[in-house]
Chains A and B, each alone.
Chain A
Amino acid sequence: MKRRIFAYPYIVWMILFIAAPMLFIVYYAVNVGGEWTLTKFWGTLSDAAKWNVLWISVQMAFKTTVICLLLGYPIAYILSNMKKTVAGFLSVLFFVPMWMNFVLRTYAWQAILEYFLPNLFGMGNNTLTGTESAVLMVLVYNFLPFMVLPLYNTLSKLDKSLLEAAHDLGANSVLTFFRVILPLSVPGIVSGITMVFIPAITAFTVPALIGNGKYNLYGNEIELAFKTLSGQGDYAVGSTLSLILLLCVLVSTLIMNHFDKDQQEGGQMW
């Protein structure tokens, strides 16, 4: 008996629950109530407001990624240079929040920004939620550990003898950093960016809880299209928006792969 057959239950599962569901995005984009039509599809594509939200979301995700990188790189760098026992303990502390329910943490920020800080500073009925900077801060908060983790993994595997070599050859610490450490940590930077950028575009919880519905991102557009308070949403609009999102994922993954030369076995589909 061939070993291959052990994969057959999964293959069936995969076709039913991984491959087939993807087709439904296309199906519902062009099939409204059992009728094949492209009106909703074109209608959504030519809706300037939707594209505007996408553009705002891409900018927001970009800002989030850049700030996470700027804040996270020093963390990973400092941790990777510490004694192994101390670094192990501290890195756990940095990654614990990742495992803690992020909706709950976002809720905590909502309480802090909406009630605690305004109460503390006597701002009356004014709140700190519903602003772009509040949404940006909580996005950075949520994604920071996801940036630190790959950076820390890459930096702590860095061959320290290369740094000694750079010093022996007369490079000072600044030069060593920019000519040796930074180029060698590019794989970590790339996977950090991929772990932050796309999830940031689709993050709809943070804008919903922190933006007070006044500051919606692309994820919210999709959420609202599918999950309206009055029962069934508009699948055609939601599906079309998701197709655009998948296109964005495809493009950004292609760009990332271009920078990341280490391809895994099995190839990359996206």
Chain B
Amino acid sequence: MVKRAARSLKYVYLALMLFFLYVPILYLIVFSFNDFSTGRRISYANLGRWKGFTLQNYTTLFTGEAGQALLLTLEIAAISSVAATLIGTAAAIGIYAMKKRTRNVVLNISQLPMVNPDLVTGITFMMLFAFVNSVLVSLGTKQVGDYVKLLIAHISFSIPYVIFSVMPRLRQSSDLLYEAAMDLGCSPMQALLKAVIPDIMPGITSGFVMALTMSLDDFVVSYFVSDLRSVLSVYIYSAARGARGVNPALATVIFIPLVTLLLAVNFRRLAKEREYEIQNKKVKLKDKGGNIQ
């Protein structure tokens, strides 16, 4: 009786916490169907009074600045994560072959963007570009624009995550793989592409996914780096502070694909684990059978 009460208490607690975590998301999704038009204008400022059902927020979602910001977000995320994965993977392979002393220095500096608060990373980039641009102005050449600034910043804060997820894989992989491939007639590039890379592929993949999510998720660094045009989260921040407010339909278009993707990935992993468990049990049963005989 006490046990059952304790168990249901557990579920109640989890449900309460999940409710707390999902309240704002559900709130936005519900209000994404709310009619915000006052006369001919649409204002999302008073996001608290239900005025009637409409799908208008979805049809207007990507027409203005929000659409441009979303496009830029996806573009920056795609390019920066691919670039970070290429540079980071090559770096990890190179760093791994270094002498311990140099390796530690390089790894320590690489950790900076991971341990520094985002705020510090953001302002350091801001100051770097301000300095570079002031030099460019005095030289009379074109300044570095928001697009390039965002790309450089996103690549930079993503690379360490790639390095640190490839590194453990390299440690598991054999040191002799590269030498062996070269002995068998591969050029260094071929040895890398045909022997080393396939062996550390899981590390590269998880590094890439991390870089992608870091870029998609970033607000602080992008906010400080860009001036005129920026990514979605920066758009949301300035719209939320301003009088116009944010179209709540954004929550739905981010949330639904995200949940679907994560649950799908997780169910696949769970299915695999379950299969593995069953197989393990079979092996164990066989072993036991063998012992009895």
Contact = CB atoms under 8 A, between A and B. Distances in A.
A146 B46 CA distance: 31
B258 A270 contact: no
Interface residues of A, number: 88
Contacts of B18: 93-94
A4 B22 CA distance: 48
Given A18-B156, A107-B246, A246-B120, A101 B254 contact: yes
Size class of the B contact interface (CB-based, 8 Å): 35 or more
Given A3-B93, A100-B255, A253 B236 contact: no
Contacts of A199: 117-118
A103 B90 contact: no
Contact of B24 (A2, A5, A109, A246): A109
A112 B24 CA distance: 8
Contacts of A114: 48
Given A14-B110, A99-B258, A266 B104 contact: yes
B17 A71 contact: yes
B108 interface: yes
B24 A269 contact: no
Contacts of A1: 188
Q: Give chain A's interface secondary structure class.
A: helix
B232 interface: yes
Interface string B104-148: 101111111101111110011111101100000000000000000
A208 interface: yes
Nearest to B233: A103
A245 B119 contact: yes
A191 interface: no
A53 B14 CA distance: 35
A224 to B, nearest CB: 12
A22 to B, nearest CB: 6
B224 A226 contact: yes
B178 A205 contact: no
B216 to A, nearest CB: 8
A198 interface: yes
Contacts of A209: 237, 240-241
A266 B87 contact: no
A43 interface: no
Contacts of B128: 17, 20-21, 24
A148 to B, nearest CB: 9
A265 to B, nearest CB: 8
A178 interface: no
Interface of B: 10, 13-14, 17-18, 20-25, 27-28, 31, 46-49, 87-88, 90-98, 103-104, 106-113, 115-120, 123-128, 130-131, 152-153, 155-156, 159, 163, 178, 188, 192, 213, 217, 219, 223-224, 232-233, 236-237, 240-241, 246, 248, 250-251, 254-255, 258-259, 262-263, 266, 269-270, 273-274
